[in-house]
Amino acid sequence: MIKPREVLIVLPAFNEGKNIGILLDHIHEVLEIDNPTRYRIFVVDDGSKDDTFEVISTRAKIMPISIIRHEVNQGLGTTIRDGLYEAVNYSGPKDIIVTMDADATHNPGLILRLTRMITEGYDVVIASRFQPGARVIGLVWHRRLLSFMASTVFRIMYPIKGVKDYTCGYRAMRADVLKKAITDYGHKFVDQDGFQSIVDILLKLRSRKLMFGETPFILRYDQKKGESKMNIGRTIRKTLMLLVKRKFISIRS
């Protein structure tokens, strides 16, 4: 018997007690009430010191949620890795894996469009800030400028047909494609420790013969409660180091 398609959502979370409950409720509304969809959420609590775990545990009583918990904070790279690997191990060949931020800035309503594009033939679909119709609300100007500059640099150095937004973590991927990549790369598939891990996953998928696509989305940074966890200086430095490494050293090194 063929397993029905399921949408598997990976949420890396660190001190998101003020946001993740709102996000989970919205996912419940979109995928259970408005558009009934088979889905499961894999939340990785990366050593949160607030009530993130309690909020997730409460929602897990009424929603299909699997919780992976780090006793101490290990960073975004390890967190997204553990969530992806858990989802891949659970997945069937027709499933779709979606990654998104847990801070309520990514609207779950877009999940339906991302997954529809996968069923239409794409292997990887990115929620893009650089497609017509996209909007960014509530993000300071220098962060927007950095995102634009990063997009320009990556498109020149690592062109991917159909891709403009290399740094957005809101993506949908065919589970079988991701499983094959993880099998081929092993523990090196996610081997970056910070926000640059999001870029590196895309660069590794770039080396494979895949169909990439994008859809515009509205980034609602004005809805996020609490401070950003991104250290801009460190992120720029490590991303530049990654650029050099991937340009001059084999991506499998």
Contact between 19 and 48 (Cβ < 8 Å)? no
Q: What is the topology classification, in CATH, of domain 7-248?
A: Spore Coat Polysaccharide Biosynthesis Protein SpsA; Chain A (3.90.550)
Query: From CA 249, how far away is CA 230, in angstroms rounded?
Result: 27
Which position has the higher pLDDT, 156 or 210?
A: 210
What is the per-residue burial (b if ≥16 Cβ within 10 Å, else e) of 106-141?
A: bbbbbbeebbebbeeebbbbbbbbbeeebebeebee
pLDDT of 223 reads: 85
103-107, 140-144, 194-198, 234-238: least confidently modelled range: 234-238
Which position has the higher pLDDT, 139 or 234?
A: 139
Distance of CA 20 to the CA centre of its chain: 15
Contact between 224 and 138 (Cβ < 8 Å)? yes
pLDDT of 163 reads: 96
Contact between 51 and 137 (Cβ < 8 Å)? no
Per 3-state DSSP, the chain is made up of helix, strand and coil in percentages (nearest 5) of 45, 20, 40
Which position has the higher pLDDT, 152 or 115?
A: 115
| Per-residue pLDDT tens digits for 178-234 | 999 999 998 889 988 888 889 899 999 998 989 999 999 999 888 888 766 655 656
Contact between 77 and 193 (Cβ < 8 Å)? yes
Tell me which residue of 2, 121, 9 sits closest to 67, measured CA to CA: 9
pLDDT of residue 249 exceeding 60, the answer is no
pLDDT of 6 reads: 96
pLDDT of residue 245 exceeding 70, the answer is no
Is pTM beyond 0.95? Reply is no
Query: From CA 181, how far away is CA 20, in angstroms rounded?
Result: 29
Residue 29 per-residue DSSP state: I
| Per-residue pLDDT tens digits for 34-93 | 888 999 999 999 999 999 999 999 999 999 999 999 999 999 999 999 999 999 999 998
